[in-house]
Amino acid sequence: MVRRSNIVQPMPDSALRFESDSAWVVKPLSPPQLNEIGREIKQAFVQLAQVDIAASPVQVIDALERSYLMLRSRAAEGLGQKSTDIARLGFLWAHQVVRQCEWHWKSVSADALPNPAIVSPDLAHVCFPIDLVATALVEKQKSPLKNLYQRIA
């Protein structure tokens, strides 16, 4: 488990928890920010998941597992990853949680600057999808995407 102040970053075997007594600011993302996330999700369907946009969340998560492993393999070979691929993978994963579990896109940050995250309906849990993917890649983890999705769903 990796801690960033009062927010616990999700690792495969840990719970997501948002400590509401913190100084973190939770606010809606603006329409342009949501539109940008939507564009990235559409690109991720085509470039990373390679499944139909109408595919079930489970089918998309399975496809994202393969994409994650490809990114991890490229990193192991010293080829690196594009930050856009990491962001798109995180956004598309989070989109499945939003679709299936009624989580919501919000901005969660300590400095009130936009920072896309998904939060549970009761605001008890938060996940930063880009950080989830980036941290897992840096730490050379097996993919946390399917495991964490199953725990939330």
- The number of beta carbons lying within 10 Å of the beta carbon of residue 106 is 18
CA distance linking residue 114 with residue 32, whole number of Å? 12
Express each pLDDT in 45-95 by its tens digit.
Answer: 998 888 888 899 999 999 999 999 988 888 777 666 688 899 999 999 999
Global pTM value: 0.82
Express each pLDDT in 91-145 by its tens digit.
Answer: 999 999 999 999 999 999 888 789 999 999 988 889 999 999 988 888 888 888 9
